[in-house]
A and B are shown apart, each in its own frame.
Chain A
Amino acid sequence: MIRVAAVGDVHLGEDAGGRLRPALDHLPEHADVLLLAGDLTRHGTPAEARVVAEEFRDVGVPVFTVLGNHDYHDDAVPEVGQILENAGIHVLEGDTAVVPVNGLTLGVAGVKGFGGGFAGKCGSAFGEPEMKAFVGHTVEIADKLRSALDSLDCDAKVALTHYAPVPETLAGEPPEIFPFLGAYQLGEAIDASGTRLALHGHAHLGSEKGETPGGVPVRNVAQPVIRKAFSVYCLEPDG
């Protein structure tokens, strides 16, 4: 059994240090790895990243994260990423990690993801350059996720994104804004790659549980949705 702790959208500001730490101090009792689903900061500043780094440093299990739209806001992604890496929080953007757990291996592939909408109600790369760029960004990121998941050789694969891969876990959000909350191409990549679990954040008003069209469990771990410091999911090895 592999125990995966996950949370997204913690939105730590400069004055928020220590908010999650009481729960994180007991993390190894609950889980073997911690996955963060982006929007770690409020504005994506290096100062806020340093607060995040201290919050999730030395929690007793390996920590991996993707970044979210808030983490991009200050245009300081390289510096934010370096601050997190220096604290042992590994940033995934088209990257993978394989973690040994109790004689098994957990594979994690992560990307930020992007919007675009879901099958039948989505944008297309057509018309104005701005629209082509919007959808092109989504497709590029989904392709990176698919390649990363395909490259994993492990006992159980987990896909980690900030934006949602399915609309089910957005239930509770206004349907009109679904195209800004996720994209079906992410779900398609997850379904194509033997993934066991998909984790995302971003949708604060959404729902925790969903499933891809191919039957992969999807969990929205945005902190306002799970209403705790982190959730824990137990995976048994494939086969």
Chain B
Amino acid sequence: MSGPAESEAPEYRAARLHRALAEDPRTSELGVQVSVDGDDIRLTGTVSSESCKEELGQVLHEWEPGATVHNDVRVVEADEPGEAEVIR
């Protein structure tokens, strides 16, 4: 595991963190978007539980302990459906 190099472009940093969240077995989230702005890292997307959302923050903190993580990821709803759609 390596932290951000001084000269690392934000695009490469975002790509590296996106891959980390996909490939780390604790998260395995391919659909979470990562955007980087200086020391601020913002996560968006949807996960299946509150614990999955918390794990994203924990893994990211290990990679970037000095960064401020804005975890805007949504936990998916699991309610009963409303009206059915009739397929014509």
Residues on A lying within 8 angstroms of B by beta carbon are 3, 5, 10-13, 15-16, 19-20, 22-23, 26, 30-31, 42-43, 70, 73, 196-197, 204-205, 217, 219, 223-224, 226-236
B interface majority secondary structure: loop
Q: How far is the CA of A236 from the CA of B88 in the complex (A)?
A: 7
In contact, A11 and B84 (Cβ under 8 angstroms): no
Q: How far is the CB of A114 from chain B (nearest CB, A)?
A: 15
Q: Please, which residue of chain B has its CB at the minimum distance from the CB of A230?
A: B81
User: Which B residues are CB-close (under 8 A) to A196?
Assistant: 87
Q: How far is the CB of B55 from chain A (nearest CB, A)?
A: 10
Say whether, besides A204-B31, A223-B76, A19 and B84 are in contact (CB < 8 Å): no
In contact, A234 and B87 (Cβ under 8 angstroms): yes
Q: A30's contact among B47, B77, B84, by CB below 8 Å, is which?
A: B84
A and B contact pairs by CB, cutoff 8 A, 29 listed: A3-B84, A10-B48, A13-B48, A13-B51, A15-B49, A19-B49, A22-B78, A22-B80, A23-B78, A30-B81, A42-B28, A43-B28, A196-B87, A197-B87, A217-B87, A219-B85, A223-B78, A227-B77, A228-B79, A228-B80, A229-B78, A229-B80, A229-B81, A230-B81, A231-B85, A232-B84, A232-B85, A234-B84, A236-B86
